[in-house]
């Protein structure tokens, strides 16, 4: 996922810096934006056994065909950035015709920023009902975009329909529970808690526990590397986390504190007091798995 995350960030930067180019030049969109994403998704962009440009269909040429096990799995249709593929129906219908007339089940439409994946045909459903993925690199949170685009990876695209259904169910359930008054924090804690683990907020620790893992809350629970299985180890891992989050003089001070604590013997209860105070000062939620 990290490679895809970096690719999405690079594409965002390219669009921000060269928007006029991508609004006029479809070939630049293909080479600079679409190719970058597909390569991060594990597709060998220059291998005709995986990706074929200008694939002929009965209705014209699809910009690309994605090949799996020697057969076309999906067509990819590219537009320049000035084409609003979310509002204009024709590009999506064009893609659906390519797929339907060739017996290809899936299609992907993109202008480099917006990505739409469809199931090309299904009796009794409209084209918009068959949209499996809709991701907007410019306007959606990074993690949402990365998760949805990951369904198009070479290793997962055969499961794209099932994965998109699971994600839709998750989003509907989350929204429903929100409307019932449950907080985001409570729901995220529920979703990210691990079976068989006992995670305790540092405020509830006594100092006699042996930590197995440490977490901080950052839009979701983030696992911290634990240098040693002790309360001191938790304190050290939180200091390293805060150092990476800080800049300048504050980062230097945290590093000095880390080095000092690392060298000295520190009683668990003393380390816990420091950890609690640190959490209060930094308004940081810290939990420990024991």
DSSP string, 123-175: TT--TGGGEEEEEETTTS-HHHHHHHHHTTSTTTGGGHHHHHHHHHHHHHHHH
* Integer Cα distance of 246 and 120 in angstroms: 48
191: closest CA among 179, 203, 183, 180?
183
Q: How many CB atoms lie within 10 A of CB 199?
A: 17
Listed in sequence order, the residues at least 6 apart from 167 whose beta carbon sits closer than 8 Å to its beta carbon are: 147, 148
Q: What's the confidence (pLDDT) of residue 8?
A: 94
Tell me if residue 82 falls in helix, strand or coil.
coil
Domains and CATH numbers, the chain: 2-169 (3.90.1570.30), 191-289 (no CATH)
Angle at 59 between CA 86 and CA 110, to 5 degrees: 25
187: which 2 tokens?
């729901």
User: Which of 177, 176, 173, 195 is closest to 186 using CA atoms?
Assistant: 177
pLDDT at 187: 81
* pLDDT for the residue numbered 194: 58
CA distance 262 to 228: 11
Q: How far is CA 269 from the centre of its chain?
A: 38
How many Å is the Cα radius of gyration of the chain?
Answer: 24
Q: How does pLDDT run along the chain (290 residues), one tens digit per residue?
A: 789 999 999 999 999 999 999 999 999 999 999 999 999 999 998 899 999 999 888 778 889 999 999 999 999 999 999 999 888 888 888 898 888 888 899 999 999 999 999 998 887 888 888 899 999 999 999 989 999 999 999 999 999 999 999 999 999 999 999 999 988 877 877 776 654 456 788 888 888 888 888 888 877 778 898 889 999 999 999 999 999 989 999 999 999 999 999 999 999 999 999 999 998 998 888 989 87
Q: How far is CA 90 from the centre of its chain?
A: 29
Beta bridge partner(s), residue 108: 76, 117
The gap from C-alpha 286 to its chain's centroid, in whole angstroms, comes to 23
Nearest CA among 60, 57, 55, 15 for reference residue 37:
15
The answer to whether 98 touches 60, Cβ cutoff 8 Å, is yes
């Amino acid at each position: 996922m990290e490679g895809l995350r970096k690719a999405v960030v690079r594409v965002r930067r390219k669009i921000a810096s060269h928007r006029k180019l991508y609004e006029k030049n479809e070939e630049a969109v293909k080479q600079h934006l679409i190719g970058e994403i597909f390569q991060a998704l594990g597709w060998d962009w220059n291998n005709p056994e995986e990706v074929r440009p200008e694939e002929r269909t009965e209705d014209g040429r699809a910009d690309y065909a994605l090949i799996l096990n020697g057969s076309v799995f999906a067509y990819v249709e590219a537009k320049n950035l000035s084409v609003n593929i979310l509002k204009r129906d024709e590009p999506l219908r064009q893609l659906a015709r390519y797929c339907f007339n060739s017996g290809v089940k899936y299609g992907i439409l993109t202008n480099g920023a917006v990505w739409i994946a469809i199931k090309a045909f299904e009796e009794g459903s409209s084209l918009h009902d068959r949209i499996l993925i809709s991701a907007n690199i410019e306007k959606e949170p990074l993690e949402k975009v990365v998760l949805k685009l990951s369904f198009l990876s070479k290793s997962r695209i055969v499961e794209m329909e099932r994965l998109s259904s699971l994600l839709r169910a998750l989003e509907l359930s989350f929204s429903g529970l929100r409307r019932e008054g449950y907080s985001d924090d409570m729901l995220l804690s529920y979703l990210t808690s691990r079976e068989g683990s006992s995670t305790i907020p540092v405020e509830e620790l006594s100092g006699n526990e042996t930590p197995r893992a440490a977490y901080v809350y950052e839009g979701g629970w983030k696992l911290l590397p634990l240098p040693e299985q002790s309360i001191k180890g938790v304190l050290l891992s939180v200091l390293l986390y805060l150092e990476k989050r800080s800049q300048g003089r504050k980062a230097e001070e945290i590093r000095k504190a880390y080095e000092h604590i690392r060298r000295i013997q520190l009683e668990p209860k003393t380390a816990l007091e420091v950890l609690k105070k640190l959490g209060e000062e930094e308004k940081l939620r810290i939990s420990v798995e024991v």
